[in-house]
Amino acid sequence: MTATTWPELPLTAWQPTYETLHMWTQIVGKTRLALAPLQNHWWQVALYPTVRGLSTGAMPCDGRTVEIEFDFRDHVLAIRCSDGRNEVLSLTSTSVSQFFASYVSALRTLGVDARLHPVPVEIVTAIPFERDFAHATYDPDAVQRHWQILLQVHRIFEVFRSRFVGKASPVHFFWGSFDLATTRFSGRSAPRHPGGAPNCPDYVMVEAYSQECASFGFWPGGGLVADAAFYAYSYPEPLGYSRHRVEPDVAYYHPDLHEFVLPYEAVRSAANPDETLLAFLQSTYEAAADLARWDRAALDRPRAQWRGLP
């Protein structure tokens, strides 16, 4: 893979678009929350990267099936029903308030009864969607770049996921935190999570972290991490985790986030981005699993059976 496969996308170049798109994905994601049957760790609410953008996948709806996809090639939101009825909304610079109104109207036209909680979650300032006129920017080029990054990250995460035979999440996009993530589980219960995510009930985090895990993801940045980055953390965090050596050398432990962080730019500019990212994922997993004494003989696929990069 070449550097051009991993596009350049500093947060400052698209932050207004990112913040708007974040709210739009929350609106669509809440449709999955309303329609999809409950799964452990809230896996049923996630979106999934596709060859055109991000999709809910198939959701049951009163005897029919509905799928909603952000199409970042044609820059439309496509709502498709199994009975052949469809609605399409243009993705352009418009407020979250207008997007929400248009989206709810399209669902009603199709007879999709989804009761959406109209307030965003997991962000500090949660403006109700109907009153959010502050976020109204859509840069098509930046959105495409972000989507292309997601496809590359998804590809590597799937390789990494294949090297574990224990319980593992899909590679999925969580719209609450706007990150692409995958999680491995030791098979043991975890202590009750304290919660505390902004504008999010504590029971959400209690369920998400009900079992001991090591989690990995990609996020566009903001706040304590100024730019796009990969992350890895363990819950509960084992003693010595923060001091454990991981790869590559540019990766570091963030004491406030309690996560290992690898800047996206370090991967994008590496001689071999794929192997650089895989080294980060594998080394942070081994730090978590070894220190917490996971049964790696039962959980890990033997290295002799690892497949090469596609």
How confident is the model at residue 224, as a pLDDT? 93
Res. 307 pLDDT band, cuts 50 70 90: confident
Report the mean per-residue pLDDT for the chain: 96
HSE of 21, CA atoms in CB hemisphere, 13 A = 27
For 11-61, write each residue's pLDDT tens digit: 999 999 999 999 999 999 999 999 999 999 999 999 999 999 999 999 999
E strand map for the chain: 48-49, 53-55, 59-61, 64-71, 76-81, 86-90, 172-174, 179-189, 211-219, 229-235, 252-254, 259-263
d(CA 162, CA 306): 8
300 and 282 Cβ atoms separated by less than 8 Å: no
For 92-110, write each residue's pLDDT tens digit: 999 999 999 999 999 999 9
Evaluate if residue 213 carries a pLDDT over 70: yes
CA distances to 16, 204, 206 from 196, rounded to whole Å, are 26, 10, 10
What does DSSP assign to residue 92? S
134 and 28 Cβ atoms separated by less than 8 Å: no
β-strands 86-90, 64-71 pairing = unpaired
Res. 2 pLDDT band, cuts 50 70 90: very low
Where are the alpha helices (H) located in 162-239, listed in sequence order? 202-208
Average pLDDT over residues 70-88: 98
For 166-199, write each residue's pLDDT tens digit: 999 999 999 999 999 999 999 999 999 999 999 9
Evaluate if residue 4 carries a pLDDT over 60: no
For 125-175, write each residue's pLDDT tens digit: 999 999 999 999 999 999 999 999 999 999 999 999 999 999 999 999 999
Evaluate if residue 1 carries a pLDDT over 50: no
Domain boundaries, the chain: 8-131, 150-305
Instruction: Tell me the residue length of the chain.
Output: 310
Residue 89 region by backbone torsions, left for phi larger than 0, else alpha for psi between -120 and 50, else beta: beta
298 burial level (CB within 10 Å; 0-12, 13-18, 19+) = exposed
How confident is the model at residue 3, as a pLDDT? 44
pTM of the model: 0.96
Cα-trace Rg, the chain = 19
What percent of the chain is predicted at pLDDT more than 90? Answer: 97
